[in-house]
Amino acid sequence: MRQYTGNRMGLAIVGGTLLSLGTYAWLRGHDRFFDLPATAKVLSAQTRKALDEPWTLWALALSLVLLALLSLRWLLLSLGWGRRGAQNGTGTAMLFVGLKNVEGLGRAQVRVGEHSLRIGLTCPAAADVGAVVSKLDQEIVGRIRREIRNDDAGTVVRLHVRR
């Protein structure tokens, strides 16, 4: 859930910034910006003087390149690159059926990799974590491994307890 919230907040910040810059440009183009004449300078003389220094433009270019790389990383992670394995609906269904007595079970997923199996599970703080772990260890993980992959496949179980 946090992942989606972060993406939405990032998109809202970027969208708000672009909307304000577009509104400013439109108002300046139609001479409606606080009765400012169309020939007025956008930047003050002090700012223009600072931009005349060669290192400021290099610093600006470097910061824009870093921002572009950060945006590219954000996009690739949002698209799912870098995740290991593919989601398996059968394994996820088996996980939910095996833990049907746990109330408030949040996110559960089973990912099948090339040589491994990854199980992710989120449960509430009120749940008996010891019982969930023993049930996972004794019954559910072995059953999922036999159904999806061979028993020799390494398995990583990640349990997150939500507050």
Give me 39's structure tokens.
């020939």
Euclidean distance between the first and the last CA atom of the chain, given in angstroms as a whole number: 14
Poorest-pLDDT segment among 2-11, 42-51, 92-101: 2-11
Burial (0-12, 13-18, 19+ Cβ within 10 Å), 95: buried
Tell me: pLDDT of 31 over 80.
no
Residue with tokens 């003087």: 49
What are the tens digits of pLDDT across the range 132-159?
Answer: 888 888 888 888 888 887 667 788 888 8
Confidence band for 82, pLDDT divided at 50, 70 and 90 = low
> pTM value?
0.52
Alpha-carbon distances of 17 from 10, 13, 20, 30, 44, rounded to whole Å: 11, 6, 5, 20, 21
Q: Which domains does the chain have, with CATH numbers?
A: 2-79 (no CATH), 86-162 (3.30.300.20)
